[in-house]
Chain A
Amino acid sequence: MLDTAEQISDSQFEFITFSAGGQNFCLEITQIREIRRWTTVTALPHTPPDVLGVMNLRGAVIPIFDLSARFGLGKTTENERNVVIVAASGDTTIGLLVESVSEILSVDKDAIQETPDIKSDMTKLSILGVISVEDTMVRVVNLETVLATDLQLAV
């Protein structure tokens, strides 16, 4: 369980970085409940392609989203490093299928930059900001938008 990790100081944030659809993303560590291996899920009828189905998480039924498909980056391709990140916001718990988890990133608040002014409103909604790590750019996922199942992110 990673949710017990405490922030180092008020201005420091810790993120878990992962890749989905070939891009780098991260979620704040306090939103993540656990990381599990992929197991088969039960498909739900009449759901968009980014909803893979539901999984049994110790008695709770949680939906599993394909994060890559959710962001319109195509379906996640098979890889044995694929994992499900179980994240929670408020009373809602969901699972996100991602290609692989990379590392824990500890950054100063100032290091988080605003999302550059891009064309797609949906992308702007789903990304809270970006962090530059060496040569790569890591996108901070807005969990609220992912949770809003009535939002079609992948248009």
Chain B
Amino acid sequence: MSGNSIRDTFFEECEELLEALVEGLAAMEDPNHDPEVVNAVFRAVHSIKGGAGAFGLDRLVHFAHTFETVLDKVRSREMDVDEGLMHLFHRSGDVLTDLVEAARDEREPNGTTEAAVLEDLESHLGGADAEEEFSFDALTLDFGTPMEITPEERQFEIRFKPFRTLYDNGHEPLLLFDALAEIGTLEVKADLDALPAFDSFDPMDSVLSWTMTLSTAAEEDAVREVFEFVDGLCELTIGEAETPAPAAQPDPEPAVDVIAEADSAPKPADPAAEPVAQTASKEARGPKPTLRVDLDRVDRLINTVGELIINQAMISQRIEELDLPTAAQLSNELEAYKLLARDIQEGVMAIRAQPVKPLFQRMSRIVREASDATSKQARLVTMGDSTEVDKTVIERLSDPLTHMIRNAVDHGLETPEQREAAGKDPVGKIKLSAAHRSGSVFIEISDDGAGLDRKRILEKAIDKGLVAADAELTDQEIDNLLFLPGFSTAGSVSNLSGRGVGMDVVKNAVQALGGRVSITSTHGAGTTFTIVLPLTLAVMDGFIISVADQTMVIPIASILETIRPNAKDLHTIGTDSQVIRVRGSYVPVVNVSENLGLVPPERSGVGVLLLVSTETHGLTALKVEDIHDQRQVVIKSLESNYGAIQGVSAATILGDGKIALILDPDELVKLDPASVSPSLSLDTRMEPQHA
């Protein structure tokens, strides 16, 4: 392993640890939280410090150390957590995240908050930073005060039984023994009872355990410290022997606590064996095994499975064409093949699916920062954290979500005074929820603020020349003005939103993921933004259609209904615009081939109309020549090798190996056929006179 990949692994682990940290801090908000939560937070910070020390990231080590020391006081109940301290912890978590990111990107962290938070943390320590922990001081920091050596030696009895995962992670018990020997006189006795007969010996398994007696002047904490990094990877009991006995006797029911419970306040012998047993059995199973896989490998696998699906469709089509007399048996087998291929695909896609939890957790920081900057009070409530979404979706949702959350605090919520006057809780509530519903992922961002000020939005839009001064708009139309480019309601440019990026950026980002975003707002009760996204970015259900003799695909999700029109229902308005009567109202007809700049075949006739609801043009009927089939298609990006094409969202490969374009109805209706140069017609370009 190269130094770099070890470094990468460290930062990957940091990401997980920071996640655990944020989660733990959120849990600490609950006044009745499990004391284990504080331990978890402590361990996260401590592990980051440990790793950072190994890479010589002094600044990170220093901050983590200070943070950890304060946490330790909470852990040992020397300090109570109040609202102010909790807030400080959150901010410390934010700073730690910044420092880790800065270290990862090898840039300077922006130290403005770091210094302030560090000072705050240090003020909680009251200067007397005497209780230094042993192992890291020597490594990375010089804390001046030398360890105070208590003259009395004590004896600890340590039972250590590593799990297999301990070895898998590259730990070496001998090094732990060495570390123990450094703080005192150590006697180690190996327990060979579990050693199997030679012929059934599995060299990968962990069969040894050790009983150690350590005479040392160090505190119990210092002893535990040695085992900090194998926490969860072994069964460990540490007890203080009452009398210095030379030969330690393995005690089947040791009067000690397991390290996972590590309540560092020295506990007397715990007569209730139950919690110990519980923890022990939990530990014995070890952590749920996971596999860290390079994302590229997963993506390659997904691509290959996509090929498999296409290949399966090709074979089916070929066999159908053969028109074999004894095809029944074969088609059964083919059907089984198809189902298997689909199963594999679903399984592979599931690898990419990840819970939205880390994304949502990051938003609590945004709410915190936004409320600090606007002197509003806000609290984030998340729901459906475990909802799984494709990794790419999660990554690309981060920015739009951040923006919307900031907006919700900045524009959505009222000031605490206004809220109180309106009889609301002065602390505003931002709700972030995720759910799977009918094959889509719904993400809702709602606030309980004043709701949209439609009058002001309209004024602003008129002011900016986005709508005509005499325009009469419905409430919904006014709400949607927010999504127009160049629209920002903030009267003055605040620190937060109003930086020139508006909701149109959010909308574009969501649309790029194949989703849509909508607003509902109730005056005085708040605003809700709903983002609807497809479950996966790799496959889609589509109608196979004919446009200008080309086969194309249109997403089923966008189609409200299909109409085979009667000539008498179609009417012409102006010179060439058509409308169709659908249940009493007239809907404009858009000729797809014209909008794409393709020449429709002369015999196209009335064709088939696909009724879609578009964001800019409302209800529209798309005219195509024919609908052939409904099929699941594998989405292939056009942008990776060529670039974006208006009206086309992606491409797919059909059963015959040909490429079919996937249409984007929203973009399609925006295209103006008049602007399309006639030289691009299908005839001149598509017939390159080749065999």
User: What is A's interface to B at a CB cutoff of 8 Å?
Assistant: 38, 40-49, 51-56, 58-63, 66, 75-78, 80, 82, 91-94, 97, 149-150
Say whether, besides A44-B648, A92-B640, A94-B641, A59 and B685 are in contact (CB < 8 Å): no
Q: Is B61 an interface residue when CB atoms closer than 8 A count as contact?
A: no
A43 lies within 8 A of B688 (CB): no
A43 lies within 8 A of B682 (CB): yes
Of the candidates B598, B638, B645, B685, which one forms a contact with A52 in the assembled complex, judged by CB atoms under 8 Å apart?
B685
A21 CB → nearest B CB, Å: 14
Contacts beyond the supplied A59-B307, A61-B636, A93-B641: 5 A-B pairs with Cβ under 8 Å: A42-B550, A48-B680, A55-B659, A78-B689, A82-B690
User: Which residue of B is nearest A149, CB measured?
Assistant: B643
User: Considering the chains assembled together, what is the distance between the CA atoms of A5 and B688 in angstroms?
Assistant: 32
User: Which residue of B is nearest A95, CB measured?
Assistant: B641
15 residue pairs bridging A and B, Cβ less than 8 Å apart = A42-B550, A42-B658, A42-B660, A43-B686, A45-B645, A45-B646, A46-B596, A46-B671, A46-B676, A56-B657, A61-B653, A75-B688, A78-B689, A92-B640, A149-B642
B659 lies within 8 A of A56 (CB): yes
User: Which residue of A is nearest B658, CB measured?
Assistant: A42
User: Considering the chains assembled together, what is the distance between the CA atoms of A149 and B636 in angstroms?
Assistant: 19
A45 lies within 8 A of B597 (CB): yes
A residues near B303, Cβ cutoff 8 Å: 59
User: What is B's interface to A at a CB cutoff of 8 Å?
Assistant: 303, 306-307, 310, 550, 596-598, 636-638, 640-643, 645-648, 651, 653, 657-661, 671, 676, 679-680, 682, 684-686, 688-691
List the count of A-B residue pairs having beta carbons below 8 Å apart: 100
A residues near B640, Cβ cutoff 8 Å: 61, 91-92
B310 lies within 8 A of A59 (CB): yes
B659 CB → nearest A CB, Å: 4
Prevailing SS type, chain A contact patch = loop
A residues near B638, Cβ cutoff 8 Å: 44, 54, 61
User: Considering the chains assembled together, what is the distance between the CA atoms of A51 and B597 in angstroms?
Assistant: 14
User: Which residue of A is nearest B682, CB measured?
Assistant: A43
A residues near B598, Cβ cutoff 8 Å: 43, 45
Of the candidates A38, A43, A59, A92, which one forms a contact with B690 in the assembled complex, judged by CB atoms under 8 Å apart?
A38
Say whether, besides A52-B685, A59-B303, A46 and B597 are in contact (CB < 8 Å): yes
User: Considering the chains assembled together, what is the distance between the CA atoms of A48 and B680 in angstroms?
Assistant: 7
Of the candidates B646, B653, B682, B686, which one forms a contact with A59 in the assembled complex, judged by CB atoms under 8 Å apart?
B653
Say whether, besides A43-B682, A45-B645, A53-B686, A61 and B651 are in contact (CB < 8 Å): yes
A residues near B679, Cβ cutoff 8 Å: 49
A residues near B643, Cβ cutoff 8 Å: 149-150
A residues near B685, Cβ cutoff 8 Å: 43, 49, 52-53
A56 lies within 8 A of B642 (CB): no
User: Considering the chains assembled together, what is the distance between the CA atoms of A94 and B643 in angstroms?
Assistant: 12
User: Which residue of A is nearest B647, CB measured?
Assistant: A45
A147 CB → nearest B CB, Å: 9
User: Considering the chains assembled together, what is the distance between the CA atoms of A61 and B635 in angstroms?
Assistant: 10
User: Considering the chains assembled together, what is the distance between the CA atoms of A94 and B676 in angstroms?
Assistant: 25
B231 CB → nearest A CB, Å: 42
Of the candidates B307, B641, B680, B684, which one forms a contact with A62 in the assembled complex, judged by CB atoms under 8 Å apart?
B641
User: Considering the chains assembled together, what is the distance between the CA atoms of A133 and B306 in angstroms?
Assistant: 46
A47 lies within 8 A of B688 (CB): no
User: Considering the chains assembled together, what is the distance between the CA atoms of A72 and B681 in angstroms?
Assistant: 19
User: Considering the chains assembled together, what is the distance between the CA atoms of A86 and B175 in angstroms?
Assistant: 56
B641 lies within 8 A of A60 (CB): yes
User: Considering the chains assembled together, what is the distance between the CA atoms of A53 and B689 in angstroms?
Assistant: 14
User: Which residue of B is nearest A38, CB measured?
Assistant: B690
User: Which residue of B is nearest A59, CB measured?
Assistant: B307
B residues near A63, Cβ cutoff 8 Å: 641-642
A residues near B306, Cβ cutoff 8 Å: 59
A47 lies within 8 A of B680 (CB): yes
A47 lies within 8 A of B645 (CB): yes
User: Considering the chains assembled together, what is the distance between the CA atoms of A107 and B667 in angstroms?
Assistant: 50
User: Considering the chains assembled together, what is the distance between the CA atoms of A43 and B688 in angstroms?
Assistant: 11
